[in-house]
Amino acid sequence: MVEKETMSTDGIVRLSKIEVYPQFLDEYVVFATEVGTISLLTEPGVLTMYAMQDKENPCMITILETYSSQKAYKAHIASEHFQKYKKGTLHMVKNLELCDQTPLNPDNIIKNTIAK
Amino acid sequence: MVEKETMSTDGIVRLSKIEVYPQFLDEYVVFATEVGTISLLTEPGVLTMYAMQDKENPCMITILETYSSQKAYKAHIASEHFQKYKKGTLHMVKNLELCDQTPLNPDNIIKNTIAK
Chains A, B: CB pairs < 8 Å? 121
In this complex, do B99 and A15 lie within 8 Å of one another by their Cβ atoms? no
In this complex, do A107 and B115 lie within 8 Å of one another by their Cβ atoms? yes
Q: A99: which strand partners?
A: A15
Smallest Cα distance from A97 to chain B, Å: 12
Compute the distance between CA of residue A28 and CA of residue A14 in angstroms, rounded to an integer. Answer: 20
Q: Fill in the amino acid letter for A46.
A: V
Provide the mean pLDDT of chain B: 97
**ipTM of the modeled complex:** 0.96
Smallest Cα distance from A24 to chain B, Å: 15
Smallest Cα distance from A90 to chain B, Å: 19
- Give the residue from B1, B4, B63, B108 with the most A CB atoms within 10 Å of its CB, the best one to mutate: B108
Which positions in chain B touch A18 (Cβ < 8 Å)?
A: none
State the SS3 of chain A. CCCCCCCCCCCEEEEEEEEECHHHHHHHHHHHHHHHHHHHHHCCCEEEEEEEEECCCCCEEEEEEEECCHHHHHHHHHCHHHHHHHHHHHHHEEEEEEEEEEECCCCEEEEEEECC
- Give the residue from A35, A37, A50, A60 with the most B CB atoms within 10 Å of its CB, the best one to mutate: A50
Compute the distance between CA of residue A33 and CA of residue B79 in angstroms, rounded to an integer. Answer: 36
Encode chain B (116 residues) as per-residue pLDDT tens digits. Answer: 999 999 999 999 999 999 999 999 999 999 999 999 999 999 999 999 999 999 999 999 999 999 999 999 999 999 999 999 999 999 999 999 999 999 999 999 999 999 97
